[in-house]
Amino acid sequence: MGGFSSYDREKIKKEMKNASLDVLVIGGGITGSGIALDAVTRGLKTAVVEMQDYAAGTSSRSTKLVHGGLRYLQQFEVKLVAEVGKERAIVYENGPHVTTPEWMMLPFYKGGTYGPFTANIGLRLYDFLAGVKKSERRTMLSPQQALDKEPLIKKDGLKGAGYYVEYKTDDARLTIEVMKKAVEKGALSINYMKVVDLLYDDNHKITGVEVEDQINHDKMKIYAKKIVSATGPWVDEIREMDHSNKGKHLHLSKGVHLVFPQTVFPLKQAIYFDTPDGRMLFAIPREDKTYVGTTDTFYDGNIKHPTMTTEDRDYILKAINYIFPSLNITVDDMESSWSGLRPLIAEEGKKPGEVSRKDEIFISDSGLISMAGGKLTGYRKMAEQAVDTVVKLLKNENGILYQDSETVHLPISGGDVGGSDGFAAFKKQKVQEGTKLGIDEKTAESLVQKYGSNVEKIFEYYQEKQTEAKEEGIDPVVFAQLIYGLEDEMVFKPVDFFIRRSGGLFFHRPWVEEHKDSVIAYMAKALQYTDAQRKEYTEELDNLIYEALHPVDKEN
């Protein structure tokens, strides 16, 4: 049934068309993936349609932190901090391969957002609200201790630093792992399938959707008892289709991040720092790169394609040189960038940075359920709330009862590694297995970190397909990942593989340039691209490689 292979698209479509669905989720970002997993594990017959690739919207373009949101304390969002803080521990436990603790340093300077006193109180409150475990509670550092941790920070006026734990993630892989688990549990899910119309009964109650396959442009109708829109920045577009875009609406705010090689930006320690204009940015080391962000500006351009402008880029460069004055970072040092849109719920008279990050559920007169706002970190809880709503409605309408959410203790795909405590031993053992197969230690480590317990499948493909990889002229490790992407992760276009499944474009741009021709040649053959498709998909990747480094000043 179902499956998650790009070779099975037609089969999945047929099953969706014929299924008697309880819930159809529109959108395959982290919100839609979370909802699908929660719903299917409660026994609801569930399907998901995503118009682009999974996580191609905001869920691959965040700061990539699973965090308690210290800064929300400044806005007195105590409940949000408490809830999201507790959730991050659950997200970590259920997927330690995609979530890694990262100590964060918050330096304070004369006249900055935080001083030693406010930071101490803030971080203490944060530990308390978020239920932070003892080994990860905050400490306070003297100016010298702060400089020992990170000699690159500005020395002038340094009064000390707060030191506390956040969690790093790969947002797109977190999304795909949640979706894979939903599919493993029985959900039907397909990408490149766009909702183009909504279907209603005689009483104007929503009963289904019309979708258009974005690959071959086939159209079909899918019916379900409940339709949930988890379309992030597109929530208002779907509400518009439903004629219910009234009252509260979305406010889109763009955030840009820049990426540098460690050779030019050798950051040792993650830093959360003040900008000259009184905002706060993150600088985070990741493998052999450092990334910095984010901006926060009102956006009304093409939702599918937010881009970095010269102003965005220069703003971040200026902030970097302000806090890391010895670096003299310039445009030429950049290796990549990305831009994303925060789907915030508008609040009259507030600036983007002050608008609440809270999630909300809207139910329209037709019965369309929309979930908007929120955070990557809180996805599981948000999903539970959305499905609680669905289940309540189904109970009222049909008297059907479903079990409670079970996702608190459910590892996501790749997360069967013995929990957070067991992951180090698991990793050691699998790295040994990988090196025995002839994979070098660093590569084996990064594969285990990326795929968790699914690395076994990567190792299998690596062994089985050595000859084929050679014939195709593709590096055998890249080939194993590609086969896994095609057969087990619904990779259809080159950008799916090079951006969302591997993080390549953001963190390993030279790797993308090295492997793209051979990978595209194989994909074209395996997925039977037409000449036009091959040209279009190659251009799409090439444009994004270009835009990762070059500003687009007229947003399209």
CA distance 357 to 373: 6
Binding ligand FAD (rule: CB under 6 A), the pick from 208, 232, 434, 504 is 232
Please state the φ and ψ torsions of residue 247, each to the nearest 5 degrees: 70, -130
Label residue 467 exposed, middle or buried (CB < 10 Å: 0-12, 13-18, 19+). exposed
Q: Is 195 in the site for ligand FAD (CB under 6 A)?
A: yes
DSSP of 184-218 = HTT-EEESSEEEEEEEE-TTS-EEEEEEEETTT--
Site for ligand FAD in 329-388 (CB under 6 A): 340-343, 374-377
Q: Output the smallest distance, CB 401 to ligand FAD, in A.
A: 28
Site for ligand FAD in 384-443 (CB under 6 A): none
Q: Output the smallest distance, CB 230 to ligand FAD, in A.
A: 5
Extract the tokens encoding 48: 């998901």
Site for ligand FAD in 84-123 (CB under 6 A): none
Q: Output the smallest distance, CB 40 to ligand FAD, in A.
A: 17
Q: Is 294 in the site for ligand FAD (CB under 6 A)?
A: yes
Q: Output the smallest distance, CB 52 to ligand FAD, in A.
A: 4
Task: With beta carbons less than 8 A apart as the criterion, state whether 252 and 259 touch.
Answer: no
Q: Output the smallest distance, CB 264 to ligand FAD, in A.
A: 23
- With respect to ligand FAD, which residue has the nearer C-beta, 153 or 198? 198
Extract the tokens encoding 145: 């201790």
Stretch of 22-30, 71-79, 108-116, 502-510 lying at the interface with ligand FAD (CB under 6 A): 22-30
Q: Is 283 in the site for ligand FAD (CB under 6 A)?
A: no
In the 3-class helix/strand/coil scheme, how is 33-52 assigned residue by residue?
Answer: HHHHHHHHHCCCCEEEECCC
Stretch of 2-10, 26-34, 469-477, 509-517 lying at the interface with ligand FAD (CB under 6 A): 26-34
Please state the φ and ψ torsions of residue 281, each to the nearest 5 degrees: -125, 160
Q: Output the smallest distance, CB 381 to ligand FAD, in A.
A: 12
Task: With beta carbons less than 8 A apart as the criterion, state whether 355 and 267 touch.
Answer: no
Stretch of 152-160, 226-234, 426-434, 439-447 lying at the interface with ligand FAD (CB under 6 A): 226-234
- With respect to ligand FAD, which residue has the nearer C-beta, 383 or 482? 383
Orientation of helix 441-451 relative to helix 455-464, angle to 10°: 130
Q: Output the smallest distance, CB 151 to ligand FAD, in A.
A: 26
**Cis peptide leading into 310, omega within 30 of 0?**
no
Label residue 153 exposed, middle or buried (CB < 10 Å: 0-12, 13-18, 19+). buried
Task: With beta carbons less than 8 A apart as the criterion, state whether 238 and 195 touch.
Answer: yes
Q: Output the smallest distance, CB 150 to ligand FAD, in A.
A: 20
Q: Is 255 in the site for ligand FAD (CB under 6 A)?
A: yes
- With respect to ligand FAD, which residue has the nearer C-beta, 30 or 123? 30
Q: Is 56 in the site for ligand FAD (CB under 6 A)?
A: yes
Q: Give the binding-site size for ligand FAD (rule: CB under 6 A).
A: 39
Task: With beta carbons less than 8 A apart as the criterion, state whether 71 and 43 touch.
Answer: no
Q: Is 29 in the site for ligand FAD (CB under 6 A)?
A: yes
H runs (alpha helix) in 335-475: 379-398, 419-436, 441-451, 455-464, 466-472
Q: Is 59 in the site for ligand FAD (CB under 6 A)?
A: yes
Extract the tokens encoding 370: 């929309």
Binding site for ligand FAD (CB under 6 A): 26-32, 49-52, 55-59, 61-65, 67, 194-195, 230-234, 255, 294, 340-343, 374-377
